[in-house]
Structure formats: C-alpha cells, structure tokens
Structure 1
Amino acid sequence: MCTTILIGKNASYDGSTMVARIEDSSSGMFKAKKFIYVSSEDQVVDYKSVRTDCEIKLPEKSFSYTCLPNVKKWRGVWGACGINEKNVSMTATETITTNERVLGADPLVEYEEGIIKKGGIGEEDFIVIVLPYISSAREGVERLGKLLEEYGTYESNAVAFQDENEIWWLESIGGHHWIAKKVPDDAYVVMPNQLGIDEFDFKDAFSKKESHMCSEDLREFIKENHLDLSLKGNFNPREAFGSDSYEDHVYNTPRAWVMLRYFNKNTYSFDGPDAEFKPSSNNLPWSMVPEGKITIEDVKTILSNHYEGTPYDPYGRHGQGDQRGKFRPIGINRDDVLALTQIRPYVDEEIKAIEWLAFGSNVFNGLIPFYTNISKTPKYLANTSLTPTSENFYWVNRIIGVLCDSNFAETQASTEAYQMKVLSKGHEIINKYDKEFKKNKGSIKDIKKFLEKANEEVADFTKEATDKYLDEVLYIASLYMKNSFSRSDA
C-alpha cells in the first residue's frame, strides 16, 4: 500500500543519494505517525514481534537512529523509515506482489496463535531489527537477507537501503528467499507495490556482488520449481516471481507509468493508443536514466500525483467522466507519511543526512527537512496523539486534506502557496545552518544541540505557516457548505 522512488547519486540535482517512500494505510484505515529518535541505550536486545510470536536475540551493540512509528502500538512499531548515526537509511517496506508458483514452492510463514516463533518477521519488525546494526547499504541487504532466511516472513515486501554512495533494493521471494539489486548511479527506480526487478546477473551475485545479491540457493530454487519463464535465456525476476493480474493494472502499474511519464516524457510516448508505455504495460522498466537531474521538489510533486494532466485525474473537470478515478493515485487519502532521505556527499559527516517529511494526503501537505544527527525531535512531530488536534503536524494535515479535497478547485491556490512556502523556507534554514556549521565547526561545543536548534526552527515556522493554511482553507470550505444561503441578517 505504498509508493517508492530511488534516485542514484548521479541522477540527483546535488550528487546526493535520495530515497523516498510513502507509507499508506490499508483501505479504511488511517495510521497516526510520529517522528522520533531512538538512542542506542534504549534499543532492545530481546526482541519479540507484536503481530507474531517471533523472538530474536539482537546484538548487544547498536547505533542510534530516527524512525516514524505508529502512535497506536497494537500492531507493533512499524518504523517506516529512518537514518542511523552512520548516515545509513532504510525504508520498511514496499508491500509487493508475488505469484502462486513461488508461494507454493516457498510458502509464507503464516502466524499460528500460541505457537512460539511462528509467523516470522515482517514490516512491523524490519527497522528495529536491522537499521541499528548496519554501517552501509550493502550491510543492510546482507543482514536482512540472513534474517529472512532464518526466520522467514509472512508477507511479500521490498526494502531500500541507502548510504552516501549506494542505494540497494531488496525484494523478498516467498517465505525465505530474496533478491537484491544496486540502483544504477545515473538512474532512478519506481516501485508501486509490485515485484519490480526486471533483470538480474547471477554471475555477479555469486562472485563480486558489485550490483547483485541474493539468497545462496536461489539458482537451485528457480530451477527445481520451474520458475524461469524466459524463452531466450534472459532471466526476468519480475516474470519469474511477480504477479500479472487485472488488479495490478488498476492498482499498481498505472503509478509506475505516471512516474516514468513525469521524468521521461520526451524519451518515450506515454499517451494515446500508440503509446510505447501505457498504464497497463507489463514491461515498464524498473529503472531509467532521467531526462534531467531530479530535485527534492520533483520527488514531492510526483509522490503527490493524482494523474493530473491525464483523463484519470479524480479532480478533473474535462474529458470522459468514466475515466476519472479509474486508477489508484499516488497521492491518496490514506497517505500516512512521506519520508525522503537525502545523504549529501559535499558536507561534513555530522550534517550529511537530511530527512524530509510530510504527513497526511500528499496532494495537500507540505514537505519539510530535518537533520538526523540529533538526540530528540521537535514536539510538533514527536508528540502525535490518537486524538485529532491542530497542535501536531500529522493531525493538522489530516484535517486540512479533508477540507481541501471537497473544495479542490477553490483551495488549490492556497495549497500551492503553502507547499512552496514551507519547501522554500526549509531549504533556506538548511542552507543557513550548513554555512554556519562550516564556518564555526571548531567552536560548536554540542553539535547535536546545534542541529536540534535548526530542526526546531523548521518546526516553528512550519506550525505557523500550517495554522495560517488551515485558517484559509477552513474559511473557504465554510463558504461552500451545502447549507449556505446568500441572504443574511445584516
């Protein structure tokens, strides 16, 4: 129920690696999220899943990290995304699809209540049991791969790992197998809830592992279970392990199509009956070299997409009405949080990592940046409760989204102004503190407090701007209530 984009360092505007993922709730659910810091001193050693009875002994030594857990703990942590003190990031997870042949050969480890260590590991657990123990993206793949092989999983998932130089993408295959591929430095990758890797070099995976890794018995697993569907010997993991259903072409592939259409609109034809790539195309590339370098603003724009400029826009006023809302949009009502992790190669180690965050429906929210080498996060994002309130960033965006959705055209100008305002100010504050750090590094006694001051400045400005935005759209929505009447008592 998520959408992910991965951007190699030579495809980004500033040479950073960038990973962005939206965590979405299941249909009919809305999960309140918060942004917190977890000290290595608070990291558990004897870990037990909430959703299952799986028990794992974790290493004694760990790194501190940020994460975005659920406020309601009834299904576990669900850390979503974070960056550890080694400037390594991890997302958890992109739910993906697989096929019956794979599940028959290596069944998911289904949970059975009361039977200890049944049910394996899943999205609930991944951040807590992996991120605090890795010093590179490659180490993340290796650690999660071993855990999947040992404990198994009850769901099909994909996970991104990122450091300053590399981004790796791991996809689980059945209950205990996995495959991983390095994102090309000059390319971007789009992932919309489907198994995505479309080519794989086994020779590399079982030798140098420069760009490919997998579970040790994957070749034998494929052969024994007749999973290779290629006719010419060019193995395609998506065909072997993935799904191809009507539901995919309504829920998944249209999102990949619209993302590729945004970044490579002149490279291929995406519209009309003779288009090279269509919303239902099975051969949409896993990665592409973009036509231009990708910015933070590009990522926010595409991860807010609702098929604007196409016949499928649910807010559209023109074209065939039966096409509107046909496909599942990226910017959907049940977006919980968008996290964009940026690891910058051109600044000091202490300030390399930035985590850009937006809560609620991406069509109507704003994206703001935070340094992650800290000891605490701003209360505006950390103190999310289960009670709706305008006093924290999650709930105020949920409220604003509902007001704007039902008055889309009337509130659009306010939304666009707000989104530009907070993004611009976010860049301004980061630029200011980057320069101050470079100039005064030797005299800054407590770097964490210095960066926390920057984060508080971002949060304070954002709260003021968001309160004003709420006031504007509440006024507009009030004018257009169905029980309005033109005559007044005055």
Structure 2
Amino acid sequence: MQAKLSLSVLGAALLTAFATDYAIACSSVVVGKNASADGAVIISRNEDYTINNWNKKLVIHPRRDTDKGEMISFKNGLKVTAPQTMLRYTGLMDWNGDTTAADGPYEERGVNEFNVAVSATNSMDINDAAKKADPLVDSGVIEADIPSFVLPMAKSAREAVELLGKTVTEQGAGEGNGILLADTKEAWYMEIGSGHHWIAVRVPQDKYLFVANGMRIHDVNLADHENVLSSPGLADFVAKNKLLDHVDSKRFNFAKAFGSVGDRYNVDREWLGQHMLTPSLAQKVREQQYPLFLTPDRKVSVADIGRVLRANFQGTELAQVKDADRPMGVDRTIETHVFELRADMPKELQVLTWQAFGSPGAAVFMPMYENAMKDVPSALRAGTDVYEGQSAYWAFRADATLAQTNPGKYGPVLAGWQNHLEGAFLQHQSMVDHQLKKLYAQNPQAALAEANQWSNGNVLTAVQSAHDVFQSLMTDMTKSTEKKYTPAELEKIKAL
C-alpha cells in the first residue's frame, strides 16, 4: 500500500476532520465476485464513532436449540421470535455491549455457520417529509440489534434481506440505515428509509458499490425481483405522500424520496471512492447523486479496499476545497473490517475476515478464519474505553496517538511498519489458503485446528508488533525532551 495514503490518520485531512460536528459516520465498499481480484464476494466498512476511544471485542455465539416460544429481545423493546435452532455466529461487540449500561450489543458485523456475513450499519439521515409520512418506531429495528437477530437465523444473503425487511415492515424501524449482507454467491445492499419502508439491491457481480452516510439507491426497477426487494406498496406510498415529484417504478429513486441527496459530508466520499477504483471515469465533484454501481478499472483486492478506506483528499480536486473535511478513515474510526467470501474454499474456511482496530490509517488488517475459530485471542476479549495494555484496539490506538505528536518524523516509521506487517499477511495468504485446503481434503478437523491457531497467531503477532512500535516511539519521544547542553555545561555535569 502506498505510504501517502496509508497515513490519513496522520495527515492534514484528519486534522481538519477533528472540527466536524457530525455524529453519523461510516464508509463502505461492496464488490461483486467478478470484480474482485481473487473471485471473492467482498463487503467492507469503517465503523466510525462519535468519540475517539471505544473498544470492541470479538464474540462467538455457539449453535444452540431454543425453547418453545423463545424470543430474541433487545433493550429498545424489539422482539423477534427465535428459530428452533440458533445458528453459530460471530459478532464484533461494543466493549460494554453485553451489560445493562449499553443501548444494545452493537455487534456491528459478523458471519454465521452458513457463511452469511452482515455489516450494520451506515447511519443515514431521513428527510423530514418521509419522517412525517411514516414516523420512526422507538421499539423498531436499530443498528444496535441487526446482526444479533439476522445472523442466528439467515442461511443466505437473500434470506437475510427478507428477514430484516419483514421485521421492519411488521415492527418498524427506529433509524435510517444502510446494511451490507453477503454470502459466497452474492452481495446485497439494503436501505431503511422510514418507519416501515425499505429497499435492497443485489450488487452486480462485475461491479462495486461505495456507500457513505447518504442513501444511495436510485435508478432501480422495482419490478426486477431478482435484483431488487422492497417494502410492500413502496411506490404507491411515495406517490401518495409526494416524496418525489414523479414516481418512476422502473427508475425508482429511493435515496431522493427518503434521504438527503447532495450533502457534501457524503458525496465527497462517494466521489473519492469511485475516483480511486474507477479513475478512468471523469466525474464532477459534489454532484447530487453518483452512479450506484460502477465497474472498477482493475479488479479489486483487499489492499485496494484498505487503500480506499484509509484515503484522504490529498492529490485530488477536493484537496483545494476548503470545506472538504470528511475523508474516509478518521481518528474516531474504531474498527474496520473486510469480509472475503470465497466459494472455492471448504465451508468453514470460506469467509476470511481482515480486521483492523482504531483508525485503519494507523492499524494493520489481521486475517482470521472466523468460522474455524474455537478460541478468541485475549487481545480481542480485553479492554474498555480506558487505555490499557492488553487489547488489540488500544495497541493500535496508542501508536496512532503517539505518531500524531510528530507526524513528519513518526509518520514514515508507522507507515513502514504497517506496510511491512500487513504486506506479509497479504503476501502469504494465498499460500495459507492452499495449504489449508489441501489439509482439509485429508483431515478436516486438523485443517480447522490449524486455521484456528493461525488466526489467533496473526492477532497475537500484530498486537505484539504494535506494542514494539509503541515502545520505540515512546523511547524516542522521551529522548526528544532532553535539554541540549553546551560542551562546558556537559563537562560540569559529568564532573559532579
């Protein structure tokens, strides 16, 4: 990865981002399998927060049978009937998500035993007219709850969309959100636009989708049920409440009907993401809406995803725009995940998660086979919102903080470390996949045990390496505070 892009956490774009008052956040990239470098379906997202310090922990929920009449219940009042069997799934939960102090688990992203992956959510504004026509429901579907009831139940990405949509239709939604859902065959993108209305689109296999915090779905055919799913009576509702001047069900503009298009907070990132992946396409900055799907100039790799989710406006037209103050990976990014879903791998190894903690500009993407993991490394179980030396989040967050004290000096050090370690993970991954696939054919349990050990080892290696960087930076910082003595003063001190 290019150092100038991997240092967004240290650059001028980040410093200007400190001044933003916006609370909603997140940037996402979804890639169809024919548009990705290794044939994987990819969903990825920066999880941005309102404050800098907020730890996350990985949890594994085992498969279990439920009691008759059991409900999956959440703090805001949402209740979903539990299936007869709750599927095994992983979640990346807020550090306090399993306590009564939290608003909900905020598991944010995860994958289940059927290799269904969910990333929820990109927070989105709903316009006043849509809110008035179909008010939000306090006890409805919200970001804090989505993966925690979808992943234990859905056996495909489409089924996940249908389940989530049905729940919004019947029980309502408490927020406007954009949700990524995928399996090894396809990826879907869903937007919740009001108390009971939603839409979802299947990402074309040869294209990608970039999402910020503005609703994106437009120019879709509501009658194309193979590729578009939506709430009942959606077009009629929009027409009745005059949410669009003209309702065209064959080129339906959900984003304009329910959202706020053209907001610089969102379209700047939309332009940048598409500019980076399809630089051959000349587009003006700050258009009201950008194409929903685009073909990349070259097939997209995990390294490309990291480059986009770390990017600032340096070297682009927006660098000269004074109020272009919202790049991708900002300091309040608390984690970034990339799910690669590969149909050519054994079932338990089909999902490869690339996980980073803190702002991705100062962190390393660590690969893990989450469906093969039996153990969660201690670094992904530890920590709160207060600094400590055990968790993965604080290991990377601490390095970013120290590097910001002298970006010109420490930035290249941090970038060199990041590129070296992450580059090694990326370089070796195809070999690891090949070895595990070969071993699985001979002894599945041995392959899964190896994948579990390898995944845990990657986390431990990366965290220890981050601690080593912290030690080096802190040592150098303390040296920099030494007083500079004249030769005469120094001789006098030595003589004392």
TM-score interval for Structure 1 and Structure 2 normalised by the shorter chain: 0.7 to 0.9
Match of 1:46 among 71, 78, 93: 71
Q: TM-score, normalised by structure 2?
A: 0.86
* Offset, 1:457: 2.1
Alignment partner, residue 384 of structure 1: 383
1:75 aligns with 2:103: yes
Aligned residue for 1:181? 201
| TM-score after normalising by structure 1 | 0.87
Gaps of 5+ in 1: 112-118, 269-275, 314-319
After the TM superposition, which of the residue ranges 32-41 and 154-163 deviates more from structure 2? 32-41
Structure 1 position 69, deviation (Å): 0.3
Q: Work out the CA distance in 1 between the residues paired with 2:419 and 2:356.
A: 13
Aligned-residue offset at 1:408: 1.6
Alignment partners' CA distance in 2, 1:33 and 1:43: 27
Q: 1 CA distance for matches of 2:92 and 2:188?
A: 21
Residue 91 of structure 1 aligns to a residue whose secondary structure is strand
CA distance in 2, matches of 1:67, 1:128: 8
Aligned to 1:5: 29
Distance in 1, matches of 2:444 and 2:34, equals: 32
1:210 aligns with 2:216: no
Q: Which residue of 2 aligns with 1:464?
A: 464
CA drift of 1:429 comes to: 5.1
Match of 1:103 in 2: 131
Would the alpha carbon gap of residues 474 and 301 (structure 1) be closer, same or farther in structure 2, given more than 3 Å must change? farther
Q: Give 1:345 shift.
A: 2.3
Q: Per chain length, whose mean CA-contact separation is higher, i.e. which structure has more relative contact order (CA < 8 Å, sep 6+)?
A: 2
Aligned to 2:307: 301
Measured after TM superposition, the shift of residue 437 of structure 1 is 2.3
1:14 aligns with 2:14: no
How many residue pairs match? The answer is: 455
Name which of 271, 276, 279 aligns with 1:265: 279
The residue identity in structure 1 corresponding to 2:236 is E
For 2:213, the equivalent position in structure 1 comes to 193
**Alpha-carbon distance, 1:285 to partner:** 1.5
Aligned residues: CA RMSD:
2.3
Task: Work out whether residues 2 and 21 of structure 1, in 8 Å CA contact, stay in contact via their aligned partners in 2.
Answer: yes
Q: What percent of counterpart residues are identical?
A: 26
1:63-102 per-residue CA deviation (whole Å, 9 max, x = no partner) reads 1111100012312100111111111100111111221111
Deviations 1:98-126 (A, max 9, x none): 211111111111x3xxxxxxx21201110
Distance 1:436 1:291 in 2: 31
In the alignment, the residues of structure 1 paired with residue 457 and residue 279 of structure 2 have an alpha-carbon distance, to the nearest angstrom, of 38
1:259-309, Cα deviation, whole Å (9 max, x unpaired): 1111122221xxxxxxx320x211222221111111101111110112222
Structure-2 change in CA distance of 1:477 and 1:307 (3 Å): farther
Alignment of 1:231-380 (within 5 A): 234-244=251-261, 248-249=263-264, 251-268=265-282, 276-278=283-285, 280-310=286-316, 323=321, 326-373=324-371, 374-380=373-379
Q: Given the alignment, which residue of 156, 176, 201 partners 1:156? A: 176
Whether 1:413 and 2:429 are equivalent positions in the alignment is no
The match for 1:33 is 56
Structure 1 pair 448–310 and aligned structure 2 pair: CA distance change class (3 A): same
- Report Cα offsets for 1:106-165 as digits up to 9, x if no partner: 1111x3xxxxxxx21201110111111111110110000001111111110111110111
Distance (whole Å) between structure 2 residues aligned to residue 10 and residue 443 of structure 1: 31
Q: Equivalents in 2 of 1:243, 1:43: separation in Å?
A: 42
| Aligned AA (2:358) | G
Are positions 1:227 and 2:243 aligned together? yes
Q: Separation in 2 of the partners of 1:307 and 1:402?
A: 21
Deviates more, 1:96-105 or 1:425-434: 425-434
**What is the identity, as a one-letter code, of the residue corresponding to 2:304?**
D
Q: Which amino acid aligns with 2:253?
A: N
Distance apart, 1:485 and its partner CA: 3.8
What CA distance in whole angstroms lies between the structure 2 residues aligned with 1:332 and 1:462? 21
More displaced stretch, 158-167 vs 342-351:
342-351
Deviation, 1:424, is 2.5
324-333 or 75-84, larger mean C-alpha shift: 324-333
Alignment correspondent of 1:271: none
Gap change, CA 1:266 and 1:68, over 3 Å in 2: same
- Aligned residue identity for 1:226: K
Q: How far did 1:231 drift?
A: 8.4
Cα deviation, residue 349, structure 1 = 2.0
One-letter code aligned to 2:280: N
Q: Secondary structure at the match of 1:203?
A: coil
Q: Deviations over 1:186-229 (max 9, x none)?
A: 1111110010012110221xxxx211110122122122112233
What is the match of residue 451 of structure 1?
451
Q: Which amino acid is 1:369 matched to?
A: P
Amino acid at match of 2:233: D
Check whether the contact 1:136–1:162 (CA below 8 A) recurs between aligned residues.
Answer: yes
Distance 1:254-1:42 versus aligned 2 partners, 3 A rule? farther
Q: Distance in 1 between matches of 2:194 and 2:397?
A: 35
Secondary structure of 2:354's aligned partner: strand
Question: Once the two structures are superposed, what CA deviation does each residue of 1:458-484 show, in whole Å capped at 9, x if it has no partner?
Answer: 12321232122222333444455xx66
Change (3 A) 1:182 1:463: same
Alpha carbons 2:52, 2:333 under 8 Å: kept: no
- Tell me how far apart the structure 1 counterparts of residues 453 and 247 of structure 2 sit (CA, whole Å): 59
Deviates more, 1:448-457 or 1:337-346: 448-457
Amino acid at match of 1:266: S
Structure 2 residue runs of 5 or longer lacking an equivalent are 1-24
Task: Give the distance between the partners of 1:397 and 1:467, measured in 2 at CA.
Answer: 8
SS for the counterpart of 2:356 is strand
Q: Which amino acid aligns with 1:372?
A: E
SS in 1 for 2:113: coil
Find 2:119's aligned residue among 73, 77, 91. Answer: 91
Secondary structure at the aligned position of 1:288 is classed as coil
SS of residue matched to 1:23: strand
CA contact (8 A) 2:58 2:380 kept: yes
1:399 Cα offset (Å):
1.0
> Post-superposition shift, 1:447?
4.4
User: In the alignment, residue 121 of structure 2 is paired with which amino acid?
Assistant: T
SS of the residue corresponding to residue 262 of structure 1 reads helix
Quick check: 2:336–2:359 contact (8 Å CA) kept in 1? no
Deviation at 1:312, TM superposition (A): 5.6
Q: Partners in 2 of 1:132 and 1:198 — Cα distance?
A: 31
Looking at structure 2, the residues matched to 75 and 478 of structure 1 have their Cα atoms a distance apart, in angstroms, of 41
C-alpha distance in structure 2 between counterparts of 1:91 and 1:43, whole Å = 25
8 Å CA contact 1:411, 1:476 repeated in 2: no
Name the structure 1 match of 2:150: 130
- Distance across 2 between alignment mates of 1:325 and 1:363: 22
Alignment partner of 2:46: what SS? strand
